[in-house]
Amino acid sequence: MTPTETSAHPAPGTGDAASAGRGGDRPVLLTVDDDVNVSRAVARDLRRRYGGSWRIVRAESGSQGLEALREIKLRGGEVAVILADYRMPGMNGIEFLEQAMDLFPAARRVLLTAYADTNAAIDAINVIDLDHYLLKPWDPPEEKLYPVLDALLEAWRAADRQPVAEARVVGHRWSARSYEVRDFLARNHVPYRWYLADEPEGERLLAAAGAEPDSIPCVITTDGTALVNPSDVELANRVGLATAPAGDFYDLIVVGGGPAGLGAAVYGASEGLRTLLVERHATGGQAGQSSRIENYLGFPDGVSGSQLTDRARRQALKFGAELLTTADAVALEAAGPARRLVLGDGGRIDAHAVILATGVSYRQLNAPGLGDLTGQGVFYGSALTEAPSCSGEDVYIVGGANSAGQAAMYFARHARSVTMLVRGSGLEASMSHYLIEQIAAVANITVRTCTEVVSAHGTDHLEGLVLRDSSTGQTEKVDTHWLFVFIGAAPRTDWLDGVVARDEHGFVLAGPDLIVDGRRPAGWAPDRDPYHLESSLPGVFVAGDARAESVKRVASAVGEGAMAVALVHRYLAGR
């Protein structure tokens, strides 16, 4: 099929696939649809709204669309948005967009689809990181088309599309510290490229850095500085992360950078409180490691934990919150009317109030052999940096809650097979229904119930597991290099022992849970009951998963972070 003009006499800013490379410096909006009438209608609506500032290019097949993109690329042009119809012969919209990503990775991607193809569009969110899907017809465009494109174009303009300066990390495949460094950089949104120390480019970088082959991991920063086996603090300082507070007194200190802590930082800073967020590793917490969160309000297409928490982090910074990384809180104490936080490096920071949002960590799997192989094939949490290395291999996941299910869906895109090992008799009691249905529809995911890991073996990395069926007692040996563990939730509150009241599992008690037989907690001084999220130490509040009896969901954590700030205001007003 030959390229077709958008009209007999194209208006300024419009053109066909053959003339895609011409048109000055205006960025391109590309629409691809094999139905000529639909194609013309899309181009017409785009031209009405955007023709003055953007170049509208129309193609009538996936191959034509790719030809247009290559021409634009060769001529140094930019593509802001690509709209592709799902049902096209030869190459459907998802296949086209997947190839288009290689040419213009920053372009925003929209799939045009009929209602019957909605499931395909939802699947495309995971396959090609789809930005939006539009149901046909989109009339009136003022309500259904233009608001979507306005938001996508604004995001495209705001994005930095210059080549990203990357740190370089050289290490061994099964080095636990190499994994930790890569995980630290990835979760703190520091771009890097990974090289194996025993491959030519890795050897060259080590030689240039003057490092021995066993001196790994070696990190070469963007300014050329070589760091041999750096600590997290050293690494954070060199890549531009803040590790020390700018002051010694704040209105509010938030401990923990998960959804609850980020929510508190956003609301605290936006409401005029001088706010400091203290995080020991990376913002996001467990939620930040999730490959896809699909039941968070306001994100019907889903959002990765990394994207959600990065937006929250930037939002907190926009309002003036200060964020510390690699700052480990080790003690909390009353200092007269102030509350004092003691850090692992001996630093002390005072504030009028403190919000504890330390979240939880995955419990260690207690089976022989696992401890020695942590970071060498055995990982706690998603470890998304490892997904590409799992290509064509067999992955095992321990756990039956949402975090395990989300990880299974993500790793299934890379691995030959994913096997979920669940101690219970099913997933219904611990996993959201939508996620259970998604897992059932993926051919290379197997769910093995009533199954537990008995032991692991391997020399310098995981080589196999012994599994046991608890219903029959039978054991089985399986070969694998990959085990990801998502079991239970252990609160990070040992450092608060004797400071605030906790339950038998270590979760912080707050508000009404502190009132026993009508009596306030021992040592309680104010002439009032503790506020709803207030701990047994007045002025210290708790939000999110660290609170006793909390709902382990991202939305509730964010809500509690916001509520805690409101209660901080009440506390400060009543002193």
Task: Give the pLDDT of residue 423.
Answer: 94
Kindly report the CATH number that applies to the domain delimited by 249-361+490-574: 3.50.50.60
Note the helical H segments in 59-175.
Answer: 62-74, 93-103, 118-128, 141-144, 146-158
Task: Give the pLDDT of residue 513.
Answer: 96
Give the residues of the chain that fall short of pLDDT 50.
1-14, 18-23
Note the helical H segments in 499-575.
Answer: 554-574
Kindly report the CATH number that applies to the domain delimited by 371-485: 3.50.50.60
The span from the CA of 548 to the CA of 512, in Å, is 11
352-376 burial code (b ≥16 CB/10 A, e <16):
bbbbbbbbbbbeebebebbeebbbb
Q: Give the per-residue SS3 of 296-361.
A: CCCCCCCECHHHHHHHHHHHHHHCCCEEECCCCEEEEEEECCEEEEEECCCCEEEEEEEEECCCEE
Token digits of residue 116 = 């019957």
Task: Give the pLDDT of residue 131.
Answer: 85
The span from the CA of 430 to the CA of 245, in Å, is 40
Which residues contact residue 391 at a Cβ distance below 8 angstroms, ignoring those fewer than 6 apart?
A: 414, 415
pTM: 0.75
Task: Give the pLDDT of residue 10.
Answer: 35
Task: Give the pLDDT of residue 164.
Answer: 64
Task: Give the pLDDT of residue 15.
Answer: 54
At the second CATH level, the architecture of 14-158 is: 3-Layer(aba) Sandwich (3.40)
Task: Give the pLDDT of residue 213.
Answer: 78
Task: Give the pLDDT of residue 160.
Answer: 61
Topology match between the domains 14-158 and 249-361+490-574: no
Task: Give the pLDDT of residue 6.
Answer: 39
Residue ranges of domains in the chain: 14-158, 167-238, 249-361+490-574, 371-485
Tell me which of 3.30.1310.10, 3.30.420.40, 3.40.309.10, 3.40.30.10 is the CATH number of domain 167-238.
Answer: 3.40.30.10
